[in-house]
Each structure stands twice: as structure tokens, then as C-alpha cells.
Homo-oligomer: A and B are copies of this chain.
Amino acid sequence: MLGDRWSLLIIRDVMLFGPRTYKQLLESHERIATNILADRLKRLIAYEIIRADPEPADKRKLNYSLTKKGIDLAPVLTEMVLWAGAHEKTENQALIRQMRRDKEGFIAGIRERWAARQS
């Protein structure tokens, strides 16, 4: 279900940066193939981990965002980023320092920003 190369990366992006469009997701993971991204988004929607809402300001666009089940992955993703930060060369040291300084607070922040958007 999450056992493929891309799903968790997609979820991580939406989790960290908020609602993303197809194009934003394509460009952020330099090498994901367009058909695979389309397929993964379809599957993640079917699993109710993400959802797609039309952007009112531009009817071509869809905003992909996390469901409740999706943000509940925040602790998993946070631990993964921390592990990678400790054991692999990784960019985004600032993010990792922030996570390490206050892990629970970091996760709570993600949840709060998500809840605020659900209004």
C-alpha cells in the first residue's frame, strides 16, 4: 500500500508544503514519471490518504491534500526524515534540526495547519 518508491515521498511533500498541484509534485521529485505520478495519486485517493479538490481560481488545477488518515502518517514521516538525517547524507539540515529540537511540536504544527485549512 505504501510499499513503493514514490508514495511516501508524495505524502511527505504534501505534508510539509500543504496542498500541491500535479505540476508541483512532478517538479519536486526530479525523476518521477508523469504516468506513475498519476497512478500513485489515484491509488492514494482510493486508499483515502489524499484527496483532490478543484482550485476555484483556476479550473484546470486540482489541489491534492491529506485526509485525516493521511496526516496521521506525520509521525511515521517525521521519524523517517530524522533517521535519514542521522544516517544518510541529506539536504534540508534546517528542517531536520527543527524536527530534532522538538519532534512532538513539529508534528503538532503539521496537524494544526492541516486542521486550520479544513475549516
Contact = CB atoms under 8 A, between A and B. Distances in A.
Contacts of A88: 1
A83 B3 CA distance: 14
Interface size class on chain A is: 10 to 19
| Interface SS of A by simple majority | helix
Contact of A83 (B9, B73, B82, B83): B73
21 contacts: A1-B88, A3-B4, A3-B5, A3-B6, A3-B8, A3-B9, A4-B4, A4-B5, A69-B87, A72-B83, A72-B86, A72-B87, A73-B83, A75-B79, A75-B82, A75-B83, A76-B76, A76-B79, A76-B80, A76-B83, A79-B79
